[in-house]
Amino acid sequence: MYIFTILLLLAIGAMLYVMVRALPRVAEEAGTKETFLDRWARSKLPEKIDIALNGMLVKLLRRVKVVALKFDNAVSVGLRKATAEEREKERRAGFDLKDIKDVSDDREDFDGASQ
């Protein structure tokens, strides 16, 4: 089995060697007409388009960043206002979060005494 595999690979290698040696003999036809894409790829236009698109992308990303930061600031202001209003309501009602902790501590003492 190994001998067959080795002979097969040597045959493929020999065929590739002969084909590669024959390639330089094949000359390009002098009369071939260049296509639009060939001329366009060799011109400076793709580089100029790339530079312009990169510039526009940078500007767009900066504007998106500014919009995101403005949105973040608006959310932060809204949260601060809501928190301040809740604290004001708690203060007016005479309710403090410390009272809840004291009540829960008293509850634990009560539960422990009954057992």
Q: pLDDT tens-digit profile of 3-55?
A: 899 999 999 999 998 888 877 665 556 667 778 877 877 888 888 999 999 99
pTM over 0.85: no
Q: Confidence class of residue 89 from pLDDT cuts 50, 70 and 90?
A: confident
The confidence score (pLDDT) of residue 57 equals: 94
Kindly state the percentage of the chain with pLDDT values over 90.
37
Domain ranges in the chain are 43-114
Structure token pair of residue 13: 């290698």
The confidence score (pLDDT) of residue 69 equals: 97
Residue 11's alpha-carbon distances to 1, 14, 16, 17, in angstroms, are 16, 5, 9, 10
